[in-house]
Amino acid sequence: MRATVEQAGPSRATSELRLQARPSELRLAREYAHAAAAAFGFDAERCYEVAFAVNEAVTNAIRHGRPDEQGHIHLSVLSDGDRLTLAVRDYGTFIASAVGRTPRSEGGRGFALMAGLMDTVQLYVSPGSTTVRLSKARV
């Protein structure tokens, strides 16, 4: 597992879902991620892991990010050989905040959770855009 923060843009998407930046859209994000993972050939457990990690990334985008001009955040599926990547993009600028975090703090554990479920978690930050890329390889 690895988690990185980079100053570059994501790869080209093979499909994309635009979600209203509302918690009510989380079910749709999970279903989309689960379906992409199943179509990629992952078993039920790995599909669940992908959907759960995407749920966390979309939750973060809704809570801490900013939607585009139409009120959307973007969830993309990228397939590259034996690796499935889902990218969650919002239009805010990520600001790291670890000050005052304790194991009992509410929130602040999302990236660790995503990293535990996926093979790779990458955070791409640019002015006016934040993208979290979640990747898992076939085994």
pTM for the predicted model, two decimal places: 0.82
- CA-CA distance, 15 to 4, in Å (whole number)? 24
pLDDT band at 34 (very low <50, low <70, confident <90, very high): very high
What are the residues facing 87 on neighbouring strands? 76, 133
Q: What angle do CA 123, 127, 132 make, to 5 degrees?
A: 20
Percent of the chain surpassing pLDDT 90: 69
Helices (H), 20-118: 26-40, 44-64, 110-117
Q: Which of 4-13, 30-39, 50-59, 79-88 has the lowest mean pLDDT?
A: 4-13
C-alpha count within 13 angstroms, C-beta hemisphere, residue 87: 23
The pLDDT of residue 13: 55
Min mean pLDDT across 30-34, 35-39, 90-94, 133-137 is at 90-94
**Does residue 99 have a pLDDT over 90?**
no
The answer for residues whose C-beta is within 8 angstroms of residue 55's C-beta and 6 or more apart is 26, 29, 30, 33
